[in-house]
Amino acid sequence: MKKTLLAIASAIAISGCATRQANNTATNEPAKSKSIVVYYSQTGTTSQLANLISSRLSIDIDSIVCNEPYNGDFGQTIERCKNDMQNGTVPAVKPLSHNLAEYDTIYLGYPVWFGTFAPPVSSFVKNNDLKGKVLIPFCTFGSGGLNTSTDNLKALLPDTKIAAGYGVRSARIAKAKNELETFLVVNGIVKGEKVTLPEFSAQEPINDEYKKIFDAACGNYQMPLGTPITVGKRDIKNGTEYKFTVENKDQDGKVSQSIIYVTAENGVEPEFTQVVR
C-alpha cells in the first residue's frame, strides 16, 4: 500500500512539473505579428488603395475621421489645409474603432497635401502611442510626396520604425493593384518572384525625342512641372522608364531641380508616375 501511495504521489509531481514546463513554454513563445491598415481619405481615392492592401493581406482596416470634415470643393479644402498648417492647427479626429495596442505593424495611408500627409494624419500620430511599432506609409498624390511625407513621419516618430512606402498618382489609381503587388513582393511582405530592375543609364542631355516623351507625359498636368535638362532610362516590363532631371524657377526667379519619373509602355501614351523634389 505504501509503495502504491508513493507511486501515485510521484506521478502527480511529475505531471505537475510537466504542466508547469508546458505553461512556461507557451508563455515564452513570441507573439505573432498583427497588422492593420489605418487611413485618411478625402475624395475616396486613398480609401481604394487602403482597401486593396487590407484585402490583399487579409488584415483589419480602420479610418481616420475628422470631427469637422474638410467639406467643400478642392479650392476650399486646400485653403483650409493651408491655414491649418500656417497656424499649427491640428484637426480633432474621432477615436479609431480598433485598439492599436493589439497591432505591431500599421499601414498608414493618406493623400499628400502641400508636399506631406494631410493634417488629420498629424492628429492620428499625436494621439496614438506608436513607439516600437512598424509603420508602412502609403499615399496618393497629384504629382509626388511619398519621400517628403515619409521623412516627416520619421522626424515625428523617432521611436517608430518607418519602413519603405508606396505611393501612386491619383490619376493612375487603376494601376495601383499591379504596382502594389510588386511593392509587397519586393519588400518581402508577400511571397512572389522578385524582379530586379537594371540601374538607370547615365544622365544625358535632352534631345527632341526625349522632349517629345516628356511633353506627352507631363504636358497636360494642371501645373507646370519645369523644363527637362537631362534624362536617364532603363528597360522595364513592356516598355521603358525615364528619369528626367528638371529645372524649375519660382516666382522670385530662384532655380531648383527635381526628378520626374516617366513610364512609356509599349503601345500606351507615356505618363509620369511621380515627382521627387
Beta-bridged to residue 204, according to DSSP, are 231
CA distance 83 to 157: 24
| pLDDT at residue number 61 | 98
Residue 9 has pLDDT above 70, yes or no: no
Q: What is the pLDDT of residue 72?
A: 74
The confidence score (pLDDT) of residue 88 equals: 83
CA distance 49 to 30: 31
pLDDT of residue 14: 38
Q: What pLDDT does residue 250 have?
A: 86
The whole-angstrom distance between residue 31's C-alpha and the CA centroid of its chain comes to 25
What is the per-residue pLDDT across 191-214, written as a single tens digit (0 to 9) for each?
999 989 999 999 999 999 999 999
Sorting pLDDT into bands at 50, 70 and 90, what band is 133? very high
pLDDT in tens, 16-72: 444 433 343 344 444 568 999 999 999 999 999 999 999 999 999 999 999 999 887
Q: Is the pLDDT of residue 11 over 70?
A: no
Query: Which pLDDT score is estimated for 253?
Result: 87
Burial of 226 from C-beta contacts in 10 A (0-12 / 13-18 / 19+):
buried
Helix (H) or strand (E) holding 213: helix 208-218
Q: Identify the pLDDT of residue 31.
A: 53
CA dihedral 153, 159, 163, 166 (to 10 degrees): -20
Question: What pLDDT sits at residue 246?
Answer: 98
CA dist list (Å): 10 to 14, 20, 240: 6, 15, 76
Evaluate if residue 249 carries a pLDDT over 80: yes
Which residues lie closer than 8 Å to 43 by C-beta, 6 or more apart?
111, 170
Long-range residue pairs from 94-103, CB within 8 A, at least 24 positions apart, any chain: 94/65, 94/66, 94/67, 96/38, 96/62, 96/64, 96/128, 97/62, 98/36, 98/60, 98/62, 100/36, 100/38, 100/128, 100/129, 100/130, 100/133, 101/129, 102/34, 103/34, 103/35, 103/36, 103/60, 103/133
Euclidean distance between CA atoms 157 and 147, whole angstroms: 15
